[in-house]
Amino acid sequence: MREVVLPGGEKVAQLGQGTWFMGERAERRKAEADAIRLGVDLGMTLVDTAEMYADGGAEAMLSEALKGIRDKVFLVSKVYPHNASFKGVRAAAERSLKRMDTEVIDLYLLHWRGSVPFEETVRGMEALKADGLIRHWGVSNLDTDDMEELLDVEGGEACAVNQILYNPTRRGPEFDLLPFLAKNEIPAMAYSPIEQGRLPTSGPLGDIAKKHGVGPFQIALAWAMRNPGVIAIPKASNPDHVKANRAAADVVLDASDLAAMDKAFPPPTRKRGLEML
C-alpha cells in the first residue's frame, strides 16, 4: 500500500475507508464492521467517520469493527461546526471516543466551516492534543481562502489534512486549492472519490478499465491517487466491494490514460468554488 506523509512525518495509507451512510441500520452493523475489518487486513488502515454519520451510528459501528485491531488503524473522525467551540470540541470528542470505545482519535477534523472563529477551534484542538485525546487535527471542506485564513491563526500551521470532495467530475480543487495544500505540505483527503457510484462507467472510464482488467470505479480511485499528496477514502460495505477498492491501489495509469481522462473530464481553467456533498 502506498503511503502519504502527514506534516511531522507520520505516514498513512493512501487508500483508506469511508463510513458515510454506514451505521444507519442495526441489522447491517455486523456486515459493515466485517467489511471495515477486511479492508484493514488488506492494508486500508485509514478509517474515516464523523459524529454526523447516522447521528453517531457510524462511530458506534466502528466500536465493533475496531475490536482487537485498534492498534492497526489510523482513525479519523469529524466534529460538527456548531460543536467546534473551545469547550464544545472537547465535549464532542469525548462523545465520539465513547461511541467508538477508544482512548484516542488519530486525526480529528472540523467537518466544515461554521460560525465559530478558527482561533477558538484551533485552541480547542490543540488542547485535545495536549491532553492526549487526539493525535492530529485538520479540517474538511475548506477552500483556498479559508485555508489561508486558518494558517494565519496562531497554531493553524498544525493543520494535518484538508478533506475535500474530489473525483473526475469534481476537479475544481486542482486550480488553486491542491497547489496551495502541496505548497504547505498538507495532504488532501478525497471523499466521494467515485461520486457515490454516479460516475459514468462507459466511455473513457470503461475503456481504460478494460485495458487494465479492472472496473471503471477502480480507475477513478487510481486516478485520484495519481497525486502522491491525495488520500482516497471510498466506502464499501460488502467484501467484494472492499476487495475491488483495494485492487485500485495497484493500478498505475500511464500518460495515455491520463490524457484520455483529461479529455473526458477537463481540468479547470479558472477558479471554481469548492463543492460539497
Residue type, 95: R
pTM of this structure: 0.95
- Taking 70 as the pLDDT cut, the residues of the chain under it are none
Q: What is the CATH number of domain 3-264?
A: 3.20.20.100
Pairwise CA distance, residues 176 & 183, whole Å: 11
What is the pLDDT, as a whole number, of residue 196? Answer: 86
Q: Which residues contact 206 (CB under 8 A, 6 or more apart)?
A: 216
User: Grid cell 484538508 — which residue?
Assistant: 162
What is the pLDDT, as a whole number, of residue 201? Answer: 87
What is the pLDDT, as a whole number, of residue 57? Answer: 95
Strand order in the sheet with 46-48: 46-48, 74-79, 105-110, 134-140, 162-165, 188-191, 230-232
Summarised one tens digit per residue, pLDDT across range 131-161 is 999 999 999 999 999 999 999 999 999 999 9
Contact (Cβ atoms closer than 8 angstroms) between residue 22 and residue 54: yes
Pairwise CA distance, residues 205 & 211, whole Å: 10
Sign of CA dihedral 270, 271, 273, 277: positive
Q: Which residues contact 77 (CB under 8 A, 6 or more apart)?
A: 48, 49, 50, 51, 59, 96, 100, 105, 107, 108, 109
Summarised one tens digit per residue, pLDDT across range 31-74 is 999 999 999 999 999 999 999 999 999 999 999 999 999 999 99
Dihedral of the CA atoms 62, 78, 232, 173 (nearest 10)? 170
What is the pLDDT, as a whole number, of residue 202? Answer: 86
What is the pLDDT, as a whole number, of residue 22? Answer: 93
